[in-house]
Amino acid sequence: MLIAENIHKSYGKVEVLKGVDIKLSEGEIVALVGTSGAGKSTLLQVLGTLDSPDQGNIWFEGQMIHQLPEKMQAKFRNESLGFVFQFHHLLPEFTALENVCIPGWIGKSSKNEIENRAKDLLDRLGLSHRLDHKPSQLSGGEQQRVSVARALINQPRLILADEPTGNLDTQNSQELYDLLFSLTRETGVAFLVATHNMALAEKADRVMRIQDGMI
């Protein structure tokens, strides 16, 4: 599904990625581990076309995505990728349901279809009683579950998650990972998650370690 070859990325004189090679298969759950500053977040941003590599190539289902025009990259991200970050980045003025629906509305899908899908996802994440609550009315764990539903709303082919449980306690972290793994396996979505938590990483199909900018 995804192939990245010889990915290099520097910021000023700091070389963060030094020739990374990655292959991800359809439906595969892969954990990306490494110390802080090893390049996990940078790699996810480059693979998700949120940043551009200085060198190397990235193919997604045979298409060289990093060379697409900006508008085509935005369309690709909306239709094919889901993102879950350490900080949930929910829009404070919108309800949980509306936050989940927004990527679908941007993609111009049917409003009723998107709302029904969002309600189903939130129900499966244990938030059916929180649809009309705004982020400030939700706990940290609940906010992160909303962000997971948002990542899944457009039925993406790949989810990129950057320390999604970094701000949660042990119990909430465990519950969120169990839900993420269950939903991704059920939907056949590929899942690449950067994490410091080795106990959780070992539940993945495969663990990749990034060190000194290389896998």
What type of residue is 93? E
Phi, psi of 10 (to 5 degrees): -125, 150
Cβ atoms of 34 and 209 closer than 8 Å: yes
Q: Which residues pair with 160 in a beta bridge?
A: 83, 192
pLDDT score for 58: 94
pTM of the model: 0.85
Residue 10 pLDDT > 90: yes
Cβ atoms of 215 and 50 closer than 8 Å: no
What are the CA-CA distances from residue 150 to residues 9, 35, 119, 180, 212 (Å)?
A: 29, 28, 11, 12, 33
Cβ atoms of 43 and 211 closer than 8 Å: no
The DSSP output letter for 135 is G
What are the CA-CA distances from residue 181 to residues 3, 30, 56, 80, 191 (Å)?
A: 22, 10, 30, 18, 8
**Interatomic CA distance for residues 65 and 136, integer angstroms:** 36
pLDDT per position as a tens digit, 138-155: 988 888 889 889 988 988
Residue whose C-alpha is closest to residue 102's, from 71, 49, 162, 147: 147
Lowest pLDDT segment from 14-18, 27-31, 82-86? 82-86
Cβ atoms of 139 and 169 closer than 8 Å: no
Residue 167 pLDDT > 70: no
Q: How confident is the model at residue 181 (pLDDT cuts 50, 70, 90)?
A: confident
H or E stretch covering 119: helix 111-124
Domains and CATH numbers, the chain: 27-50+70-206 (3.40.50.300)
pLDDT per position as a tens digit, 35-77: 887 888 999 999 999 999 999 999 999 889 988 888 899 889 8
Strand pairing report for 81-84 and 63-64: unpaired
Cβ atoms of 86 and 104 closer than 8 Å: no
Residue whose C-alpha is closest to residue 22's, from 11, 48, 13: 48
